Copies of this chain bind each other. A is one copy, B any other.
């Protein structure tokens, strides 16, 4: 009769975090080592399940393991300043916005190109034209000395 503890598989079902991921989070130090039964099985009580829910939710919001670890630490710190939490959130928001902007740029470029492509059986295609014509400027000029190349 399980006291009020469950196994990883059950915890996974309850929280939506896969058993594999639960073990992985534990190994990475994101979660404290789960208590073990006499035979070595991990056992999860209500507190652990709550933590797993927290992790799941944070993951859904795009936080990476490191940020989640910080959030967990703040969560369990009754004297935390909410400013610390807010700072983490803001960092994540900035990162999300950065990535969104990048993806938006790609999507818009592609949409423009696709709109100009008649998309029939003929080979003429502005998409391929763009990909081949795009003289992408080398991002950084490199500090290394440029010398003539040549070899036998």
A residues apposed to B, CB below 8 Å: 1-7, 10, 13-16, 35-39, 41, 43, 45, 47, 50-51, 53-54, 56-58, 60-62, 71-72, 74-83, 85-87, 89-90, 92-93, 96-97, 99-100, 103-104, 106-107, 109-111, 113-114, 117-125, 127-128, 130-142, 144, 146-152
Contacts and interface: CB of A to CB of B under 8 A. Distances in A.
Contacts of A117: 82, 85-86, 89
A107 B93 contact: yes
A92 to B, nearest CB: 6
A136 B15 contact: yes
Given A6-B149, A72-B138, A100-B104, 20 more contacts: A2-B149, A2-B151, A3-B149, A38-B151, A38-B152, A45-B149, A50-B132, A54-B131, A54-B132, A54-B138, A57-B132, A57-B134, A61-B109, A76-B138, A76-B140, A77-B123, A82-B120, A89-B110, A93-B114, A96-B103
